[in-house]
Amino acid sequence: MVVWSMVVWSMVVWSMVVGGLVLGARCLVLGARCLVLGARCLVLGAWCLVLGAWCLVLGAWCLVLGAWCLVLGAWCLVLGAWCLVLGAWCLVLGAWCLVLGAWCLVLGAWCLVLGAWCLVLGAWCLVLGAWCLVLVDRGSKATLPLTIPCRVFKSSAKDSTYHPMGIALQGVLQGQYTLQGSPTARASGGQRPPTAGRQTNDRRTHRF
């Protein structure tokens, strides 16, 4: 259960990592687009300011010309008025473009900061995912002996040298012993001999 929970947590962490990286990349792209849009708005605002200044100059010249030309000055006065209105509208539009460019710059900066935070969060999630993988790997190594097939132990048992084991019973002469695995071996009274004791073979005593 612990291994499965770690695997689930690692999958959740990796999904958070992928989501954070994708969100950070999208925020970076959005910030770049906002910066480009802000730059374009600033350029447009500058052009509108220049156009408004030229319109104001043109309107002033038209007013001066209208004052000098009273007969033909009516048309020039109308044209100057239109130029003044156009210049005012250009000034207002330029101011709005400047404000919009400033907001776009602020939004781009925030998007860049958000993208950086998302990248940092993605890096932390990567570290956490690596730790989860390490913990899962350790858990699998801890349960490794449970998954080893019995044939490994059987082969190791076959490779070991077989030594006959005997049990020395009280009251039996030295040199006589009973094999532990013999089905006919019984102690006095029809019981099996005890499984722990001393082995006597060639007058040597062994613990087992």
What mean pLDDT value characterizes the chain?
A: 73
Rounded to whole angstroms, how far apart are CA atoms 196 and 69? 136
Domains contained in the chain, number: 2
Residue partners of 169: CB distance under 8 A and separation at least 6: 178, 187, 193, 197
Determine, yes or no, domain membership for 156: no
Task: Clarify whether residues 30 and 118 are in a common domain.
Answer: yes
Phi, psi of 33 (to 5 degrees): -65, -40
* Residue ranges with strand state E in the chain: 166-167, 178-179, 198-201, 204-207
Domain that holds residue 38: 2-147
Task: Clarify whether residues 117 and 172 are in a common domain.
Answer: no
Q: What's this model's pTM, rounded to 2 decimal places? A: 0.38
pLDDT in tens, 68-92: 777 776 777 888 899 899 999 999 9
Task: Clarify whether residues 51 and 94 are in a common domain.
Answer: yes
97 has a pLDDT exceeding 80: yes
The reported pLDDT for the residue numbered 43 is: 93
Task: Clarify whether residues 175 and 111 are in a common domain.
Answer: no
Determine, yes or no, domain membership for 24: yes
